[in-house]
């Protein structure tokens, strides 16, 4: 059961630069258990970098990341404790723009790899749960197929099932529909909506404004590496937010 009074993810003054270019300029953000936070912004605003810093695919320069009750410790050498990093990544499910499935494994093998070899769970249990997850996302019949034999929408649904197989506390989605043909977007969004209805904590970088409006509990708008404005979908889409956010919506990024 989720507890909406407990923080699931908290970022405090998160900063990240690539060379002289500061991508994240002191990001502070909180998501409670069961929240669906849609992260919006133009290309280059820092959305994906912020998401990748949460599970340390990108190492922040400074600031603090808390997942549940655990604060991530950054070392002086610019890294983090390896055992803590392993715990962190086991508690966070990540869904990428380009699926990132292992091409040499069947869909079922993709789902059971981490639970068996990283989490050391019994194979029979992992297989049973993986089959149930594939049924849940509507591709049970593809269990023995390789990723190349699936459509983009099917691959992304398999990637969501693979993330769920790790029993994550938080799900991160980095533009999960942007690489899909338009007719395949809906099947992925339906799965994401169902997860939101289950009470999953989700941080979603997206350009799908109808999803952000209808499913989110919070909208966060990034502009030039900082949170320009945040609020409820009702407030943000009812002529709220900021001038910059309204320009973003009117500049070809409006509601579907």
Q: 210-219, pLDDT tens digit by residue?
A: 999 999 999 9
pLDDT at 232: 94
Q: What is the pLDDT of residues 155-199, one digit of tens each?
A: 999 999 999 999 999 999 999 999 999 999 999 999 999 999 999
Residue 5: the pLDDT is 87
pLDDT band at residue 84 under the 50/70/90 scheme: confident
Predicted confidence at residue 256, as pLDDT, reads 38
Whole-number pLDDT of residue 74: 72
User: Rounded to 5 degrees, what angle do the CA atoms 61, 118, 163 make?
Assistant: 70
Structure tokens at 153: 């929408």
pLDDT for residue 79: 61
Higher-confidence residue: 73 or 232?
A: 232
Asked if pLDDT for residue 254 goes beyond 50, the answer is no
Least confident of 19-23, 109-113, 141-145, 246-250: 246-250
Residue 11 contacts residue 29 (beta carbons within 8 Å): yes
Residue 19 has pLDDT above 60, yes or no: yes
Mean pLDDT of the chain: 92
Q: Is the pLDDT of residue 76 over 60?
A: no
pTM of the entire predicted model: 0.92
Give dist(CA 48, CA 222) in Å, integer: 11
In this predicted structure, what is the pLDDT of residue 156?
98
């Amino acid at each position: 059961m989720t507890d909406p009074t407990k923080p699931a993810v908290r970022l405090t003054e998160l900063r990240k630069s690539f060379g002289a270019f500061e991508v994240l300029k002191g990001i502070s953000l909180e998501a409670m258990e069961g929240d669906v936070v849609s992260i919006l912004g133009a290309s280059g605003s820092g959305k994906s970098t912020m998401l990748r810093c949460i599970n340390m695919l990108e190492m922040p320069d400074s600031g603090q990341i808390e997942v549940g009750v655990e604060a991530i410790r950054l070392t002086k050498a610019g890294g983090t404790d390896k055992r803590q990093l392993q715990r962190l990544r086991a508690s966070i499910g990540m869904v990428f723009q380009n699926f990132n499935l292992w091409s040499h494994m069947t869909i079922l093998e993709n789902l059971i790899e981490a639970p068996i070899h990283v989490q050391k769970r019994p194979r029979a249990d992992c297989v049973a749960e993986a089959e149930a997850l594939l049924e849940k996302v509507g591709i049970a019949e593809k269990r023995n197929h390789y990723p190349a034999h699936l459509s983009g929408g099917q691959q992304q649904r398999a990637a969501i099932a693979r993330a769920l197989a790790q029993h994550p506390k938080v799900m991160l989605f980095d533009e999960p529909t942007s690489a899909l043909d338009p007719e395949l977007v809906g099947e992925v969004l339906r799965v994401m909506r169902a997860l939101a209805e289950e009470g999953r904590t989700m941080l979603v970088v997206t350009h799908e404004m109808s999803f952000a409006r209808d499913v989110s509990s919070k909208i966060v708008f990034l502009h030039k590496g900082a949170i320009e404005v945040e609020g409820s979908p009702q407030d943000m889409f009812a002529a709220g937010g900021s001038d910059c956010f309204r320009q973003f919506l009117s500049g070809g990024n409006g509601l579907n």
